Amino acid sequence: MKVALVYPRFKWFEYNGLSEPLGVLHLVSALRKAGHEPVYVDYSFCSEIDELDHIVEGAGIVAVAISAAAKLERASFVTSHLKKAVPDALFVVGGAYPSIFAANSIDETGADVALLGEAEKSIVELSDLVENSEDYHSMRNLAFYREDGSFAENPRRPVPPLLDEILFPARDVVDYDAYFANGMSEYGMITTRGCPFKCIYCKPSTDMIYGGGIRYRSAGNVVDEIRELVEFRNDPCPKVFFKDDTITMHPESWFEAFRDGLKESGIDLEWHCNSRVDTVSRDKIRIMKESGCRVISFGVESGSQKILDFYKKETTPEQAVEAFRWCHEFRVEATANLMIGFPLETDDDLRLTYNLLKKIKPDDIIVYFSTAIPGRYIHDWAVENDYLATDTNPELLDPARNRAHEVMNMRLPHLTVDDVVSWKHRIERYRSWRKVTSYSKIKRWTSELLSEPGKAIGKAGRVLRGFKGQSD
């Protein structure tokens, strides 16, 4: 049966950068293997809403991806258009947001059902049932409104324990040239699913998608996927962003096997990842560097232990000092991600954060505004303690957008928004200073100036704007 997998990023600007939707691509592979006819419908580069109707035509299921609340409005817009174009199809929503807010996803989009959590198995099961005109309402991971108006959320199947058994994402359906032409710079990939930590600004949302805990792929399986990517894109030196929550949960031996596997395959990989300062060691960073790691983006969040403890981050500023020292030693660029503007933060806490930055000397700094997103403990806490600002506009639920627009969705008893903004500007100025003094940044910028002068000049402009306190 024809199944349309829709990525509804229609006329949407990504504040955090453009990337291919890996989850949807995994579903394309699963459906293909099961003998269905999946079609990938990506609105990222469309200027008219009806531009892709011909691809969706004849689909028995139209499945729309929603990653976050910020995208709900786009998903609703695209779904209501497609409901007119293919009125007889079964409309499904899935992805991170419906896994947490199933009823709301159906209410807002008018979809018939939601598929919750990892969906490689359930999308195939649903497609089989629909194709055979069988009743699907009792299948696991399904949520829907019963005829009497009550909401049903069926039990979930256990998440697949062995990630190596999951098929690689179907990259052949992606128009990578368009993605790269529009600012994407790295292929996405993932080597683990889930995260065992409990930070209040994040959990329990990811547990609702990946079922809690963490599951791993073997290094060999990841090397196989990279080999496939190298062949498919005819690029022996690909750049990859590992989207894992904390890839450094892998032990050192994993990174050794990964490094050796790449070497044996003759692949010169360059990659970057996110990490926590307490899951790295000096040796791990050395081996990561040997396997092509160029940048590690650490969730440093704050220089104040009091704030880290409120976030339940379970890290210390001292661990940040060590992690950044090791990165500088092995010339791995280290980015510090910060989250400022938490209601309990004071001017002294922000000063501690600023002082920590001066100590760890990050090669880059990304300042987010602390945001209470529904489905996370921080949101419950903000509601209970009356810190949530009255405006629940979904647009305010994207920390990257809030940073760019300098707006917040929580009230601050000890600071004004202007205070936070002025600390942000101070940090941005220090960030620009680091960019013109960091060895790695200067080296990269110089080589870019020779190979891609336009890009390098654009970067220099952004650094200059940073000196005025403006972020990218």
- Binding region for ligand B12 (CB under 6 A): 14, 16-17, 19, 21-24, 26-27, 63-65, 67-71, 92, 94-97, 99-100, 115, 118-120, 123, 188, 190, 202, 205-206, 209, 243, 245, 373, 375, 398-400
Q: How far apart are the first and last CA of the chain?
A: 44
At closest approach, how far in Å is the CB of 397 from ligand B12?
6
Give yes or no for a contact between 431 and 365, defined as CB atoms under 8 angstroms apart: yes
**Side-chain half-sphere exposure of 327, counting CA atoms within 13 A:** 30
Specify the residue, 142 or 230, whose C-beta has the smaller distance to ligand B12. 142
Distance CA 428, CA 32 (A): 47
Question: Can you list the pairs that 386-390 forms with residues at least 24 positions away whose Cβ atoms lie under 8 Å?
Answer: 386/411, 387/343, 387/411, 387/413
The CA distance from 346 to 200, in Å, is: 19
Binding flag, residue 202, ligand SF4 (CB under 6 A): yes
Comparing C-alpha atoms, which of 39, 40, 47, 109 is closest to residue 74? Answer: 109
Q: Binders of ligand SF4: how many residues, by CB under 6 A?
A: 11
**Chain position carrying tokens 């994993």:** 254
For residues 188 and 299, which CB has a smaller minimum distance to ligand SF4 in the complex? 299
Binding segment for ligand SF4 among 201-209, 330-338, 346-354, 404-412 (CB under 6 A)? Answer: 201-209
> H helices then E strands: how many in the chain?
19, 15
Both tokens of residue 274?
């996110």
Q: Which of ligand SF4, ligand B12, none does residue 26 bind to, with CB < 5 to 8 Å depending on kind?
A: ligand B12
Q: Which of residues 293-352 bind ligand SF4 (CB under 6 A)?
A: 299
Considering only residues 120, 225, 245, 345, which one is a binding residue for ligand SF4 as defined by CB under 6 A?
A: 245
- Cα 203 to Cα 24, 164, 194, 197, 198: the distances in Å are 23, 25, 11, 8, 6
Closest to ligand SF4 by CB, 44 vs 206, is: 206
**Partner interacting with residue 246 (select from ligand SF4, ligand B12, none; CB below 5-8 Å by kind):** ligand SF4
Residue 276 contacts which entry, ligand B12, ligand SF4, none (Cβ below 5-8 A, type-dependent):
ligand SF4
């695209």: which residue's tokens? Answer: 78
Residue 11 vs 331, nearer CB to ligand B12: 11
**Taking the C-alpha atoms of 129, 131, 132 and 138 in order, what is their torsion angle to the nearest 10 degrees?**
20
CA–CA dist 399, 224 (Å, integer)? 35
Give min distance, CB of 389 to ligand SF4, in A: 22
* φ, ψ for residue 273, nearest 5 deg: -155, 170
Cα pseudo-dihedral 340, 344, 348, 350, rounded to 10: 0
Please identify, using beta-carbon distances, which residue of 18 and 463 lies nearer to ligand B12: 18
* The amino acid at 55: I
Angle among Cα 129, 134, 136 to the nearest 5 degrees reads 65
The distance of closest approach from Cβ of residue 344 to ligand SF4 in the complex, given in angstroms and rounded to an integer, is 18
> Is residue 185 helix, strand or coil?
coil
- In the window 206-225, what residues touch ligand SF4 (CB under 6 A)? 206
The mark string for 21-50 relative to ligand SF4 (x by CB under 6 A, - otherwise) is: ------------------------------
Min dist CB 294 to ligand B12, Å, is 18
Of 199, 285, 408, 421, which lies in the binding site for ligand SF4, with binding defined by CB under 6 A? 199
Q: Give the angle subtended at the CA of 262 by the CAs of 257 and 268, to the nearest 5°.
A: 140
Which of ligand B12, ligand SF4, none interacts with 197 (beta carbon under 5 to 8 A by kind)?
ligand SF4
Minimum separation from the CB atom of position 366 to ligand SF4 (A): 14
Q: Give which of ligand B12, ligand SF4, none residue 221 binds (C-beta under 5 to 8 Å, depending on kind).
A: none
Q: Could you give the 3-state DSSP secondary structure of residue 263?
A: helix
Among 105, 246, 291, 335, binds ligand SF4 (CB under 6 A): 246
Residue 373 binds which one of ligand B12, ligand SF4, none, with CB within 5 to 8 A depending on kind? ligand B12
Is the Cβ of residue 143 or residue 247 nearer to ligand SF4 in the bound state?
Answer: 247
Residue 375 binding target from ligand B12, ligand SF4, none, CB below 5 to 8 Å by type: ligand B12
Identity at 129, one-letter amino acid code: L
Backbone angles phi and psi of 367, in degrees to 5: -100, 115
Q: How far is CA 326 from the centre of its chain?
A: 26
169 or 299: CB nearest ligand SF4: 299
Rule CB under 6 A: is residue 276 a binding residue for ligand SF4? yes
* Phi, psi of 135, deg, nearest 5: -75, 130
* Strand, helix or coil for residue 126: helix
Nearer to ligand SF4, 113 or 307 (CB): 307
If one counts every other C-beta atom within 10 angstroms of the C-beta of residue 393, the result is: 10
Smallest gap from residue 318 Cβ to ligand SF4 (A): 18
Q: Candidates 87-95, 191-199, 235-243, 258-266: pick the segment binding ligand SF4 (CB under 6 A).
A: 191-199
397 is a site residue for ligand SF4 (CB under 6 A)? no
Using the rule CB under 6 A, which residue among 2, 36, 203, 328 binds ligand SF4?
A: 203
